[in-house]
Structure 1
Amino acid sequence: MRTKEEMFQLILTIAEKDPRILAVGMNGSRTNKNAPKDLFQDYDIVYIVESVEVFRKDQSWLAEFGPRLIMQTPEDMVLFPPTKDGRFAYLMLFEDGNRIDLTLCPKEQAAYWNEGDLLAEILLDKNHLLPNLMEATDQNYWIKKPTQEEFSDCCNEFWWVSTYVVKGLCRNELFYAADHLHDNCQKELLRLLSWQVAGKHGYHFSIGKNYKYLPNYLTEEQYEQLVKTMNISSIFLAWSALLSLQKQFDYYARIVSQKNHFIYDQKTAEKVKLYTNNWFTKQSKLAFKEN
Protein backbone atom coordinates (compact mmCIF):
# COMPACT_ATOMS: atom_id res chain seq x y z
CA MET A 1 0.00 0.00 0.00
CA ARG A 2 1.39 3.38 -0.98
CA THR A 3 2.21 5.62 1.97
CA LYS A 4 0.54 8.92 2.78
CA GLU A 5 3.61 10.76 1.56
CA GLU A 6 3.57 8.87 -1.73
CA MET A 7 -0.12 9.59 -2.27
CA PHE A 8 0.23 13.31 -1.65
CA GLN A 9 3.25 13.44 -3.92
CA LEU A 10 1.29 11.68 -6.66
CA ILE A 11 -1.75 13.96 -6.29
CA LEU A 12 0.40 17.09 -6.46
CA THR A 13 2.71 15.87 -9.22
CA ILE A 14 -0.23 15.14 -11.53
CA ALA A 15 -1.60 18.62 -10.86
CA GLU A 16 1.74 20.43 -11.18
CA LYS A 17 2.57 19.03 -14.60
CA ASP A 18 -0.90 19.55 -16.08
CA PRO A 19 -1.49 23.21 -17.02
CA ARG A 20 -5.23 22.59 -17.13
CA ILE A 21 -5.21 22.05 -13.35
CA LEU A 22 -4.97 25.44 -11.65
CA ALA A 23 -5.16 24.57 -7.97
CA VAL A 24 -5.59 21.70 -5.53
CA GLY A 25 -7.63 21.69 -2.35
CA MET A 26 -8.39 19.03 0.22
CA ASN A 27 -11.24 18.56 2.67
CA GLY A 28 -12.60 15.71 4.76
CA SER A 29 -11.10 13.75 7.62
CA ARG A 30 -7.47 14.22 6.59
CA THR A 31 -7.78 17.92 7.38
CA ASN A 32 -9.36 17.16 10.76
CA LYS A 33 -6.82 16.91 13.57
CA ASN A 34 -9.49 15.30 15.77
CA ALA A 35 -10.28 12.46 13.37
CA PRO A 36 -8.71 9.06 14.08
CA LYS A 37 -5.95 8.17 11.65
CA ASP A 38 -6.07 4.80 9.89
CA LEU A 39 -5.52 3.10 6.55
CA PHE A 40 -9.14 3.66 5.47
CA GLN A 41 -9.03 7.46 5.43
CA ASP A 42 -9.96 8.83 2.03
CA TYR A 43 -8.08 11.55 0.21
CA ASP A 44 -10.86 14.06 -0.46
CA ILE A 45 -9.25 16.12 -3.20
CA VAL A 46 -10.54 18.97 -5.35
CA TYR A 47 -8.84 19.92 -8.61
CA ILE A 48 -9.80 23.40 -9.77
CA VAL A 49 -9.60 23.19 -13.57
CA GLU A 50 -9.95 25.30 -16.68
CA SER A 51 -12.67 23.05 -18.09
CA VAL A 52 -14.36 20.07 -16.50
CA GLU A 53 -15.61 18.75 -19.83
CA VAL A 54 -12.11 18.39 -21.28
CA PHE A 55 -11.21 15.96 -18.50
CA ARG A 56 -14.49 14.10 -18.82
CA LYS A 57 -14.14 13.49 -22.56
CA ASP A 58 -10.76 11.80 -22.22
CA GLN A 59 -10.35 9.98 -18.92
CA SER A 60 -7.08 8.28 -19.75
CA TRP A 61 -5.30 10.68 -17.37
CA LEU A 62 -6.86 8.81 -14.43
CA ALA A 63 -4.51 5.89 -15.09
CA GLU A 64 -1.69 7.92 -13.55
CA PHE A 65 -3.23 7.38 -10.11
CA GLY A 66 -2.70 3.62 -10.41
CA PRO A 67 -4.75 0.48 -11.02
CA ARG A 68 -8.28 0.77 -9.68
CA LEU A 69 -10.31 -1.83 -7.88
CA ILE A 70 -13.55 0.06 -8.55
CA MET A 71 -14.67 3.56 -9.46
CA GLN A 72 -17.92 5.50 -9.20
CA THR A 73 -18.81 8.70 -11.05
CA PRO A 74 -21.97 10.05 -9.35
CA GLU A 75 -22.66 12.69 -12.00
CA ASP A 76 -22.99 9.96 -14.61
CA MET A 77 -25.49 7.96 -12.59
CA VAL A 78 -29.26 7.85 -13.07
CA LEU A 79 -30.33 5.92 -9.98
CA PHE A 80 -28.48 8.29 -7.62
CA PRO A 81 -28.74 11.82 -9.06
CA PRO A 82 -25.75 14.15 -8.50
CA THR A 83 -25.99 17.26 -6.33
CA LYS A 84 -22.98 19.37 -7.42
CA ASP A 85 -23.86 21.63 -10.30
CA GLY A 86 -21.02 21.94 -12.78
CA ARG A 87 -18.67 19.69 -10.85
CA PHE A 88 -17.66 16.13 -11.58
CA ALA A 89 -16.40 13.53 -9.13
CA TYR A 90 -14.32 10.38 -9.51
CA LEU A 91 -14.59 8.14 -6.45
CA MET A 92 -11.69 5.73 -6.82
CA LEU A 93 -10.63 2.76 -4.71
CA PHE A 94 -7.25 1.47 -5.84
CA GLU A 95 -5.93 -2.06 -5.79
CA ASP A 96 -3.43 -1.16 -3.06
CA GLY A 97 -6.27 -0.08 -0.73
CA ASN A 98 -5.91 3.69 -1.05
CA ARG A 99 -8.96 5.72 -1.98
CA ILE A 100 -9.23 9.14 -3.59
CA ASP A 101 -12.50 11.04 -3.88
CA LEU A 102 -11.46 13.46 -6.60
CA THR A 103 -13.77 16.32 -7.57
CA LEU A 104 -13.20 18.50 -10.61
CA CYS A 105 -14.31 22.05 -9.89
CA PRO A 106 -14.57 24.64 -12.69
CA LYS A 107 -12.46 27.74 -12.16
CA GLU A 108 -15.66 29.83 -12.12
CA GLN A 109 -16.41 28.26 -8.73
CA ALA A 110 -12.89 28.71 -7.33
CA ALA A 111 -14.02 31.30 -4.79
CA TYR A 112 -16.18 28.70 -3.06
CA TRP A 113 -14.43 25.47 -4.03
CA ASN A 114 -14.83 24.12 -0.48
CA GLU A 115 -18.53 25.07 -0.36
CA GLY A 116 -18.11 26.76 3.01
CA ASP A 117 -16.67 23.66 4.69
CA LEU A 118 -14.16 24.75 7.35
CA LEU A 119 -12.44 21.37 7.12
CA ALA A 120 -10.43 22.43 4.10
CA GLU A 121 -6.82 23.08 3.13
CA ILE A 122 -5.15 24.46 0.02
CA LEU A 123 -2.41 22.14 -1.26
CA LEU A 124 -1.49 23.99 -4.44
CA ASP A 125 -2.48 27.30 -6.01
CA LYS A 126 -0.52 28.06 -9.16
CA ASN A 127 -1.98 31.51 -9.84
CA HIS A 128 -3.24 32.55 -6.40
CA LEU A 129 -6.76 31.78 -7.53
CA LEU A 130 -8.16 30.55 -4.23
CA PRO A 131 -9.21 32.71 -1.27
CA ASN A 132 -7.27 32.38 1.96
CA LEU A 133 -8.61 29.91 4.48
CA MET A 134 -8.53 29.85 8.25
CA GLU A 135 -6.98 26.83 9.96
CA ALA A 136 -9.03 23.70 9.28
CA THR A 137 -11.61 22.97 11.98
CA ASP A 138 -14.50 20.56 12.39
CA GLN A 139 -16.65 23.30 13.92
CA ASN A 140 -19.25 22.94 11.15
CA TYR A 141 -19.91 19.43 12.40
CA TRP A 142 -20.21 20.13 16.11
CA ILE A 143 -23.43 19.02 17.72
CA LYS A 144 -25.82 21.94 17.68
CA LYS A 145 -27.91 22.72 20.72
CA PRO A 146 -31.53 21.90 19.89
CA THR A 147 -34.42 24.29 20.03
CA GLN A 148 -37.79 23.42 21.53
CA GLU A 149 -39.15 22.98 18.02
CA GLU A 150 -36.36 20.61 16.98
CA PHE A 151 -36.76 18.57 20.13
CA SER A 152 -40.52 18.34 19.64
CA ASP A 153 -40.09 17.30 16.00
CA CYS A 154 -37.62 14.59 17.00
CA CYS A 155 -40.03 13.21 19.59
CA ASN A 156 -43.05 13.39 17.32
CA GLU A 157 -41.20 11.64 14.50
CA PHE A 158 -40.07 8.83 16.80
CA TRP A 159 -43.47 8.16 18.35
CA TRP A 160 -45.38 8.59 15.08
CA VAL A 161 -43.17 6.21 13.10
CA SER A 162 -43.29 3.71 15.98
CA THR A 163 -46.90 3.06 14.99
CA TYR A 164 -45.74 2.18 11.45
CA VAL A 165 -43.44 -0.42 12.94
CA VAL A 166 -46.30 -1.88 14.97
CA LYS A 167 -48.43 -2.09 11.84
CA GLY A 168 -45.68 -3.83 9.91
CA LEU A 169 -45.01 -6.35 12.66
CA CYS A 170 -48.69 -7.18 13.10
CA ARG A 171 -48.92 -7.80 9.35
CA ASN A 172 -45.81 -9.96 9.50
CA GLU A 173 -44.07 -7.52 7.12
CA LEU A 174 -40.57 -7.65 8.52
CA PHE A 175 -38.89 -5.62 5.75
CA TYR A 176 -41.41 -2.79 6.15
CA ALA A 177 -41.09 -2.77 9.94
CA ALA A 178 -37.30 -3.08 9.92
CA ASP A 179 -36.94 -0.22 7.46
CA HIS A 180 -38.89 2.16 9.69
CA LEU A 181 -37.12 0.90 12.79
CA HIS A 182 -33.70 1.58 11.31
CA ASP A 183 -34.25 4.64 9.14
CA ASN A 184 -36.51 6.53 11.52
CA CYS A 185 -36.80 5.28 15.08
CA GLN A 186 -33.16 4.35 15.64
CA LYS A 187 -31.94 7.53 13.96
CA GLU A 188 -34.16 9.74 16.12
CA LEU A 189 -32.88 7.98 19.22
CA LEU A 190 -29.30 8.59 18.04
CA ARG A 191 -30.14 12.24 17.46
CA LEU A 192 -31.58 12.46 20.96
CA LEU A 193 -28.55 10.73 22.44
CA SER A 194 -26.23 13.19 20.68
CA TRP A 195 -28.09 16.04 22.37
CA GLN A 196 -27.88 14.24 25.69
CA VAL A 197 -24.10 13.71 25.54
CA ALA A 198 -23.52 17.24 24.25
CA GLY A 199 -25.55 18.63 27.12
CA LYS A 200 -23.23 16.75 29.43
CA HIS A 201 -19.90 17.47 27.73
CA GLY A 202 -20.58 20.76 25.96
CA TYR A 203 -21.54 21.59 22.37
CA HIS A 204 -18.00 21.88 21.07
CA PHE A 205 -17.26 18.53 19.45
CA SER A 206 -18.36 16.32 16.57
CA ILE A 207 -19.62 12.76 16.81
CA GLY A 208 -18.84 12.14 13.15
CA LYS A 209 -20.83 11.04 10.15
CA ASN A 210 -23.65 8.60 10.96
CA TYR A 211 -22.96 9.09 14.70
CA LYS A 212 -19.84 6.92 14.39
CA TYR A 213 -18.08 8.50 17.40
CA LEU A 214 -21.16 8.51 19.64
CA PRO A 215 -20.15 5.26 21.40
CA ASN A 216 -17.10 7.11 22.75
CA TYR A 217 -19.46 9.13 24.95
CA LEU A 218 -21.75 6.31 26.12
CA THR A 219 -21.37 4.03 29.10
CA GLU A 220 -20.90 0.34 28.43
CA GLU A 221 -24.49 -0.31 29.49
CA GLN A 222 -25.87 2.42 27.23
CA TYR A 223 -23.90 1.06 24.31
CA GLU A 224 -25.02 -2.53 24.87
CA GLN A 225 -28.68 -1.52 25.13
CA LEU A 226 -28.42 0.46 21.92
CA VAL A 227 -26.65 -2.30 19.99
CA LYS A 228 -29.29 -4.84 20.97
CA THR A 229 -31.91 -2.81 19.09
CA MET A 230 -29.95 -3.37 15.88
CA ASN A 231 -30.78 -7.07 15.86
CA ILE A 232 -34.04 -7.11 13.90
CA SER A 233 -33.62 -10.33 11.95
CA SER A 234 -37.00 -11.76 12.99
CA ILE A 235 -40.47 -10.53 13.92
CA PHE A 236 -39.86 -11.34 17.58
CA LEU A 237 -36.49 -9.56 17.67
CA ALA A 238 -38.01 -6.56 15.89
CA TRP A 239 -40.73 -6.38 18.56
CA SER A 240 -38.02 -6.54 21.25
CA ALA A 241 -36.04 -3.81 19.50
CA LEU A 242 -39.08 -1.54 19.23
CA LEU A 243 -40.02 -1.95 22.88
CA SER A 244 -36.43 -1.26 23.93
CA LEU A 245 -36.15 1.76 21.65
CA GLN A 246 -39.31 3.23 23.08
CA LYS A 247 -38.10 2.72 26.64
CA GLN A 248 -34.73 4.28 25.90
CA PHE A 249 -36.18 7.16 23.90
CA ASP A 250 -38.64 8.06 26.63
CA TYR A 251 -35.88 7.98 29.25
CA TYR A 252 -33.49 10.24 27.34
CA ALA A 253 -36.26 12.55 26.16
CA ARG A 254 -37.05 13.30 29.79
CA ILE A 255 -33.39 14.03 30.53
CA VAL A 256 -32.97 16.32 27.52
CA SER A 257 -36.24 18.13 28.20
CA GLN A 258 -35.31 18.74 31.85
CA LYS A 259 -31.78 19.83 30.99
CA ASN A 260 -32.98 22.34 28.40
CA HIS A 261 -36.29 23.27 30.06
CA PHE A 262 -38.21 21.88 27.09
CA ILE A 263 -41.82 20.73 27.02
CA TYR A 264 -42.01 16.99 26.43
CA ASP A 265 -45.29 15.47 25.29
CA GLN A 266 -45.23 12.71 27.86
CA LYS A 267 -48.91 11.97 27.41
CA THR A 268 -48.45 11.03 23.75
CA ALA A 269 -45.39 8.94 24.59
CA GLU A 270 -47.34 6.95 27.17
CA LYS A 271 -50.25 6.39 24.78
CA VAL A 272 -47.97 5.10 22.02
CA LYS A 273 -46.14 2.82 24.44
CA LEU A 274 -49.47 1.41 25.61
CA TYR A 275 -50.62 1.00 22.01
CA THR A 276 -47.41 -0.87 21.21
CA ASN A 277 -47.61 -3.13 24.25
CA ASN A 278 -51.24 -3.99 23.61
CA TRP A 279 -50.52 -5.09 20.05
CA PHE A 280 -47.41 -6.96 21.14
CA THR A 281 -49.45 -8.84 23.74
CA LYS A 282 -52.15 -9.71 21.19
CA GLN A 283 -49.60 -10.95 18.67
CA SER A 284 -47.77 -12.96 21.35
CA LYS A 285 -50.99 -14.68 22.40
CA LEU A 286 -51.88 -15.41 18.79
CA ALA A 287 -48.46 -16.92 18.14
CA PHE A 288 -48.77 -19.03 21.29
CA LYS A 289 -52.14 -20.42 20.16
CA GLU A 290 -50.79 -21.26 16.73
CA ASN A 291 -47.93 -23.20 18.28
Structure 2
Amino acid sequence: MRTEQEMFDLILNTARNDTRIRAVIMNGSRANPNVPKDIFQDYDIVYLVTETESFIKDKDWIKVFGEPVIFQFPDEMDKNLGYETHFERCYGYLMQFDDGNRIDLHVETLDLVLEEVKSDKLTVVLMDKDNKLPKIAPPTDEDYWVKKPDKALYSCCCNEYWWTMLYIAKGLWRDEILFSLDFLNNWVRPQLFKMISWYAGILTNFSCSVGKCGKYLDKYLAKAIWKRYLKTYPAAEKEAVWNSIFIMNELFEEIALKVAEEFDFCYEYADAKRSREFAEHIRQLPKDAKEIL
Protein backbone atom coordinates (compact mmCIF):
# COMPACT_ATOMS: atom_id res chain seq x y z
CA MET A 1 0.00 0.00 0.00
CA ARG A 2 1.40 3.39 -0.97
CA THR A 3 2.09 5.64 2.00
CA GLU A 4 0.26 8.88 2.74
CA GLN A 5 3.32 10.85 1.62
CA GLU A 6 3.51 8.90 -1.65
CA MET A 7 -0.16 9.61 -2.32
CA PHE A 8 0.17 13.33 -1.62
CA ASP A 9 3.28 13.49 -3.81
CA LEU A 10 1.35 11.79 -6.61
CA ILE A 11 -1.67 14.06 -6.27
CA LEU A 12 0.40 17.25 -6.14
CA ASN A 13 2.94 16.28 -8.80
CA THR A 14 0.11 15.41 -11.18
CA ALA A 15 -1.23 18.93 -10.61
CA ARG A 16 2.18 20.57 -11.00
CA ASN A 17 2.79 18.86 -14.32
CA ASP A 18 -0.60 19.68 -15.84
CA THR A 19 -1.09 23.29 -16.93
CA ARG A 20 -4.87 22.81 -16.92
CA ILE A 21 -4.81 22.28 -13.13
CA ARG A 22 -4.36 25.59 -11.30
CA ALA A 23 -5.00 24.68 -7.67
CA VAL A 24 -5.54 21.70 -5.36
CA ILE A 25 -7.95 21.58 -2.41
CA MET A 26 -8.49 18.82 0.14
CA ASN A 27 -11.75 18.21 2.02
CA GLY A 28 -13.15 15.42 4.13
CA SER A 29 -11.71 13.43 7.01
CA ARG A 30 -8.06 14.09 6.16
CA ALA A 31 -8.77 17.80 6.63
CA ASN A 32 -10.43 17.17 10.00
CA PRO A 33 -8.00 17.44 12.93
CA ASN A 34 -10.46 15.59 15.21
CA VAL A 35 -10.66 12.43 13.11
CA PRO A 36 -8.14 9.68 13.98
CA LYS A 37 -6.08 8.59 11.02
CA ASP A 38 -6.47 5.09 9.69
CA ILE A 39 -5.66 3.09 6.57
CA PHE A 40 -9.18 3.44 5.09
CA GLN A 41 -9.30 7.25 4.93
CA ASP A 42 -10.05 8.54 1.45
CA TYR A 43 -8.24 11.39 -0.23
CA ASP A 44 -11.01 13.91 -0.97
CA ILE A 45 -9.41 16.15 -3.57
CA VAL A 46 -10.58 18.99 -5.80
CA TYR A 47 -8.52 20.06 -8.80
CA LEU A 48 -9.31 23.63 -9.81
CA VAL A 49 -9.08 23.52 -13.61
CA THR A 50 -9.21 25.91 -16.54
CA GLU A 51 -11.90 23.75 -18.17
CA THR A 52 -13.47 20.34 -17.59
CA GLU A 53 -14.18 19.10 -21.12
CA SER A 54 -10.74 17.65 -21.88
CA PHE A 55 -10.66 15.79 -18.53
CA ILE A 56 -14.04 14.22 -19.28
CA LYS A 57 -13.44 13.43 -22.95
CA ASP A 58 -10.24 11.47 -22.32
CA LYS A 59 -10.33 9.67 -18.99
CA ASP A 60 -6.98 7.98 -19.56
CA TRP A 61 -5.35 10.78 -17.57
CA ILE A 62 -6.53 9.21 -14.31
CA LYS A 63 -4.45 6.08 -14.99
CA VAL A 64 -1.53 7.88 -13.36
CA PHE A 65 -3.13 7.33 -9.96
CA GLY A 66 -2.89 3.53 -10.04
CA GLU A 67 -4.55 0.24 -10.91
CA PRO A 68 -8.27 0.26 -10.17
CA VAL A 69 -10.46 -2.17 -8.30
CA ILE A 70 -13.45 -0.14 -9.42
CA PHE A 71 -14.20 3.40 -10.54
CA GLN A 72 -17.44 5.34 -10.30
CA PHE A 73 -18.35 8.49 -12.22
CA PRO A 74 -21.30 9.91 -10.23
CA ASP A 75 -22.01 12.84 -12.54
CA GLU A 76 -22.14 10.46 -15.51
CA MET A 77 -24.58 8.25 -13.61
CA ASP A 78 -26.76 11.23 -12.71
CA LYS A 79 -26.87 12.29 -16.35
CA ASN A 80 -27.86 8.78 -17.46
CA LEU A 81 -30.64 8.76 -14.87
CA GLY A 82 -32.02 12.04 -16.13
CA TYR A 83 -30.82 14.32 -13.32
CA GLU A 84 -29.53 17.81 -13.93
CA THR A 85 -25.75 17.97 -14.30
CA HIS A 86 -23.21 20.69 -15.02
CA PHE A 87 -20.26 18.95 -16.62
CA GLU A 88 -18.90 22.31 -17.75
CA ARG A 89 -18.31 23.26 -14.10
CA CYS A 90 -17.72 20.02 -12.23
CA TYR A 91 -17.04 16.33 -12.81
CA GLY A 92 -16.23 13.61 -10.28
CA TYR A 93 -14.07 10.49 -10.27
CA LEU A 94 -14.39 8.04 -7.36
CA MET A 95 -11.41 5.71 -7.53
CA GLN A 96 -10.65 2.61 -5.45
CA PHE A 97 -7.17 1.28 -6.18
CA ASP A 98 -5.84 -2.23 -5.83
CA ASP A 99 -3.31 -1.25 -3.17
CA GLY A 100 -6.11 -0.15 -0.82
CA ASN A 101 -5.89 3.60 -1.40
CA ARG A 102 -8.93 5.54 -2.57
CA ILE A 103 -9.21 9.00 -4.11
CA ASP A 104 -12.48 10.89 -4.47
CA LEU A 105 -11.45 13.49 -7.04
CA HIS A 106 -13.39 16.35 -8.59
CA VAL A 107 -12.33 18.72 -11.32
CA GLU A 108 -14.02 22.09 -10.87
CA THR A 109 -13.79 25.46 -12.54
CA LEU A 110 -12.67 28.57 -10.69
CA ASP A 111 -16.12 30.14 -10.51
CA LEU A 112 -17.57 27.07 -8.79
CA VAL A 113 -14.65 26.72 -6.39
CA LEU A 114 -14.95 30.36 -5.38
CA GLU A 115 -18.66 29.83 -4.68
CA GLU A 116 -18.03 26.80 -2.47
CA VAL A 117 -14.57 27.11 -0.97
CA LYS A 118 -15.65 28.92 2.20
CA SER A 119 -18.89 27.00 2.70
CA ASP A 120 -17.06 23.87 3.88
CA LYS A 121 -14.89 24.60 6.91
CA LEU A 122 -13.11 21.28 6.42
CA THR A 123 -11.06 22.68 3.57
CA VAL A 124 -7.29 22.83 3.13
CA VAL A 125 -5.58 24.49 0.15
CA LEU A 126 -2.67 22.27 -0.93
CA MET A 127 -1.63 24.27 -3.98
CA ASP A 128 -2.59 27.57 -5.63
CA LYS A 129 -0.51 28.32 -8.70
CA ASP A 130 -2.14 31.67 -9.46
CA ASN A 131 -3.00 32.87 -5.94
CA LYS A 132 -6.66 33.06 -6.92
CA LEU A 133 -8.11 31.43 -3.82
CA PRO A 134 -9.11 33.45 -0.74
CA LYS A 135 -7.44 32.95 2.61
CA ILE A 136 -9.11 30.11 4.47
CA ALA A 137 -9.24 29.66 8.23
CA PRO A 138 -7.72 26.51 9.75
CA PRO A 139 -10.03 23.54 9.23
CA THR A 140 -12.66 22.78 11.83
CA ASP A 141 -15.58 20.33 12.01
CA GLU A 142 -17.80 22.79 13.90
CA ASP A 143 -20.36 22.83 11.05
CA TYR A 144 -20.98 19.16 11.85
CA TRP A 145 -21.39 19.59 15.60
CA VAL A 146 -24.68 18.52 17.13
CA LYS A 147 -27.07 21.48 17.22
CA LYS A 148 -29.31 22.30 20.17
CA PRO A 149 -32.96 21.36 19.65
CA ASP A 150 -35.77 23.84 20.11
CA LYS A 151 -39.10 22.98 21.72
CA ALA A 152 -40.85 22.25 18.43
CA LEU A 153 -38.09 19.98 17.15
CA TYR A 154 -38.01 18.05 20.41
CA SER A 155 -41.79 17.65 20.47
CA CYS A 156 -41.92 16.45 16.85
CA CYS A 157 -39.15 13.94 17.52
CA CYS A 158 -41.02 12.42 20.46
CA ASN A 159 -44.35 12.29 18.66
CA GLU A 160 -42.83 10.77 15.53
CA TYR A 161 -41.07 8.12 17.60
CA TRP A 162 -44.15 6.91 19.47
CA TRP A 163 -46.37 7.14 16.38
CA THR A 164 -44.14 5.20 13.99
CA MET A 165 -43.14 2.62 16.61
CA LEU A 166 -46.65 1.17 16.36
CA TYR A 167 -46.12 0.39 12.68
CA ILE A 168 -43.41 -2.06 13.74
CA ALA A 169 -45.80 -3.79 16.13
CA LYS A 170 -48.49 -4.04 13.43
CA GLY A 171 -46.00 -5.48 10.95
CA LEU A 172 -44.77 -8.08 13.42
CA TRP A 173 -48.30 -9.27 14.20
CA ARG A 174 -48.75 -9.76 10.44
CA ASP A 175 -45.38 -11.59 10.25
CA GLU A 176 -44.16 -8.90 7.86
CA ILE A 177 -40.55 -8.91 9.01
CA LEU A 178 -39.17 -6.72 6.20
CA PHE A 179 -41.89 -4.12 6.71
CA SER A 180 -41.17 -4.09 10.44
CA LEU A 181 -37.41 -3.78 9.99
CA ASP A 182 -37.86 -1.01 7.48
CA PHE A 183 -39.93 1.02 9.91
CA LEU A 184 -37.57 0.24 12.76
CA ASN A 185 -34.44 1.35 10.92
CA ASN A 186 -35.74 4.08 8.62
CA TRP A 187 -38.50 5.72 10.66
CA VAL A 188 -38.17 4.95 14.36
CA ARG A 189 -34.40 4.70 14.70
CA PRO A 190 -33.75 8.17 13.24
CA GLN A 191 -35.76 9.66 16.11
CA LEU A 192 -33.76 7.70 18.70
CA PHE A 193 -30.55 8.70 16.95
CA LYS A 194 -31.62 12.34 16.99
CA MET A 195 -32.48 12.21 20.70
CA ILE A 196 -29.31 10.41 21.70
CA SER A 197 -27.23 12.83 19.62
CA TRP A 198 -28.77 15.75 21.52
CA TYR A 199 -27.80 13.98 24.72
CA ALA A 200 -24.22 13.64 23.46
CA GLY A 201 -24.38 17.35 22.68
CA ILE A 202 -25.43 18.12 26.24
CA LEU A 203 -22.52 16.08 27.60
CA THR A 204 -20.03 18.03 25.46
CA ASN A 205 -21.60 21.49 25.62
CA PHE A 206 -22.61 20.95 21.98
CA SER A 207 -19.05 20.89 20.75
CA CYS A 208 -19.02 17.40 19.23
CA SER A 209 -19.73 15.68 15.96
CA VAL A 210 -21.17 12.17 16.27
CA GLY A 211 -19.98 11.42 12.73
CA LYS A 212 -21.70 9.92 9.74
CA CYS A 213 -24.24 7.32 10.88
CA GLY A 214 -23.28 8.09 14.49
CA LYS A 215 -19.95 6.30 14.18
CA TYR A 216 -18.42 8.37 17.00
CA LEU A 217 -21.35 8.13 19.43
CA ASP A 218 -19.57 5.59 21.62
CA LYS A 219 -16.96 8.24 22.45
CA TYR A 220 -19.55 10.33 24.28
CA LEU A 221 -21.97 7.84 25.84
CA ALA A 222 -21.58 5.84 29.02
CA LYS A 223 -20.75 2.20 28.26
CA ALA A 224 -24.05 0.98 29.70
CA ILE A 225 -26.05 3.30 27.44
CA TRP A 226 -23.93 2.40 24.44
CA LYS A 227 -24.49 -1.33 25.00
CA ARG A 228 -28.25 -0.80 25.26
CA TYR A 229 -28.18 1.23 22.07
CA LEU A 230 -26.43 -1.60 20.24
CA LYS A 231 -29.11 -4.01 21.44
CA THR A 232 -31.67 -2.04 19.43
CA TYR A 233 -30.17 -3.59 16.27
CA PRO A 234 -31.94 -6.94 15.99
CA ALA A 235 -31.56 -9.98 13.79
CA ALA A 236 -34.28 -10.48 11.18
CA GLU A 237 -36.32 -12.64 13.55
CA LYS A 238 -39.72 -11.80 14.95
CA GLU A 239 -38.91 -12.17 18.65
CA ALA A 240 -35.60 -10.38 18.25
CA VAL A 241 -37.37 -7.39 16.72
CA TRP A 242 -40.01 -7.39 19.46
CA ASN A 243 -37.29 -7.39 22.11
CA SER A 244 -35.40 -4.59 20.38
CA ILE A 245 -38.56 -2.44 20.29
CA PHE A 246 -38.95 -2.52 24.05
CA ILE A 247 -35.25 -1.91 24.66
CA MET A 248 -35.51 1.01 22.27
CA ASN A 249 -38.63 2.36 23.97
CA GLU A 250 -37.00 2.33 27.41
CA LEU A 251 -33.84 3.95 26.10
CA PHE A 252 -35.70 6.60 24.12
CA GLU A 253 -37.77 7.66 27.12
CA GLU A 254 -34.78 7.71 29.46
CA ILE A 255 -32.74 9.93 27.12
CA ALA A 256 -35.73 12.09 26.14
CA LEU A 257 -36.30 12.89 29.82
CA LYS A 258 -32.66 13.96 30.22
CA VAL A 259 -32.95 16.24 27.20
CA ALA A 260 -36.27 17.65 28.46
CA GLU A 261 -34.72 18.41 31.83
CA GLU A 262 -31.76 20.19 30.25
CA PHE A 263 -33.92 22.52 28.15
CA ASP A 264 -37.04 22.67 30.29
CA PHE A 265 -39.12 20.95 27.62
CA CYS A 266 -42.35 19.05 28.24
CA TYR A 267 -42.20 15.28 27.71
CA GLU A 268 -45.58 13.76 26.86
CA TYR A 269 -45.67 10.86 29.33
CA ALA A 270 -49.28 9.99 28.48
CA ASP A 271 -48.59 9.55 24.76
CA ALA A 272 -45.58 7.38 25.47
CA LYS A 273 -47.40 5.24 28.03
CA ARG A 274 -50.38 4.60 25.76
CA SER A 275 -48.16 3.74 22.79
CA ARG A 276 -46.04 1.31 24.84
CA GLU A 277 -49.14 -0.38 26.24
CA PHE A 278 -50.75 -0.61 22.82
CA ALA A 279 -47.60 -2.19 21.37
CA GLU A 280 -47.54 -4.74 24.19
CA HIS A 281 -51.22 -5.48 23.56
CA ILE A 282 -50.48 -6.15 19.88
CA ARG A 283 -47.62 -8.44 20.88
CA GLN A 284 -50.03 -10.57 22.92
CA LEU A 285 -52.84 -10.47 20.34
CA PRO A 286 -53.65 -13.95 18.97
CA LYS A 287 -53.02 -14.53 15.27
CA ASP A 288 -56.69 -15.43 14.74
CA ALA A 289 -57.98 -12.28 16.47
CA LYS A 290 -61.03 -10.72 14.80
CA GLU A 291 -60.74 -7.42 16.66
CA ILE A 292 -57.81 -5.41 18.01
CA LEU A 293 -59.57 -4.50 21.27
TM-score (norm 1): 0.93
1:2, distance to aligned residue in structure 2 (A)? 0.3
Residues 1:59 and 2:62 aligned together? no
1:179, distance to aligned residue in structure 2 (A)? 1.0
Q: Partners of 2:215 and 2:7 in 1: how far apart?
A: 26
Q: What is the percent sequence identity of the aligned residues? A: 37
Residues 1:241 and 2:212 aligned together? no
Tell which deviates more after alignment, 104-113 or 74-83: 74-83
- Aligned residues: CA RMSD: 1.9
Residues 1:205 and 2:215 aligned together? no
**Corresponding residue of 1:179:** 182
**Corresponding residue of 1:17:** 17
1:77-226 mapped onto 2 (5 Å cutoff):
77-78=77-78, 85=86, 86-114=89-117, 116-226=119-229
CA contact (8 A) 1:74 1:81 kept: no
AA paired with 2:64? E
Q: Partners of 2:229 and 2:83 in 1: how far apart?
A: 33
SS in 2 for 1:229: coil
AA paired with 2:108? C
Specify whether residues 204 and 84 from structure 1 end up closer, same or farther in structure 2 by C-alpha distance, changes over 3 A only: farther
Specify whether residues 137 and 83 from structure 1 end up closer, same or farther in structure 2 by C-alpha distance, changes over 3 A only: farther
CA contact (8 A) 2:256 2:267 kept: yes
User: Hey, which bits of structure 1, 4+ residues long, moved more than 3 A?
Assistant: 78-86
1:125, distance to aligned residue in structure 2 (A)? 0.7
C-alpha distance after superposition, 1:141-176 (max 9, x if no partner)? 111111111111211221121122122112111111
CA contact (8 A) 1:27 1:114 kept: no
C-alpha distance after superposition, 1:58-109 (max 9, x if no partner)? 1000100000111111112259887875422111110000011101112221
Specify whether residues 82 and 211 from structure 1 end up closer, same or farther in structure 2 by C-alpha distance, changes over 3 A only: farther
Q: How many residues get paired? A: 286
Q: Partners of 2:198 and 2:8 in 1: how far apart?
A: 37
CA contact (8 A) 1:74 1:80 kept: no
C-alpha distance after superposition, 1:116-155 (max 9, x if no partner)? 0101000011111211100001111111111111111211
**Unmatched segments (≥5 aa) in structure 1:** none
Specify whether residues 46 and 226 from structure 1 end up closer, same or farther in structure 2 by C-alpha distance, changes over 3 A only: same
Tell which deviates more after alignment, 151-160 or 20-29: 151-160
**Unmatched segments (≥5 aa) in structure 2:** none
Specify whether residues 175 and 220 from structure 1 end up closer, same or farther in structure 2 by C-alpha distance, changes over 3 A only: same
AA paired with 1:16? R
Specify whether residues 278 and 222 from structure 1 end up closer, same or farther in structure 2 by C-alpha distance, changes over 3 A only: same
AA paired with 1:90? Y
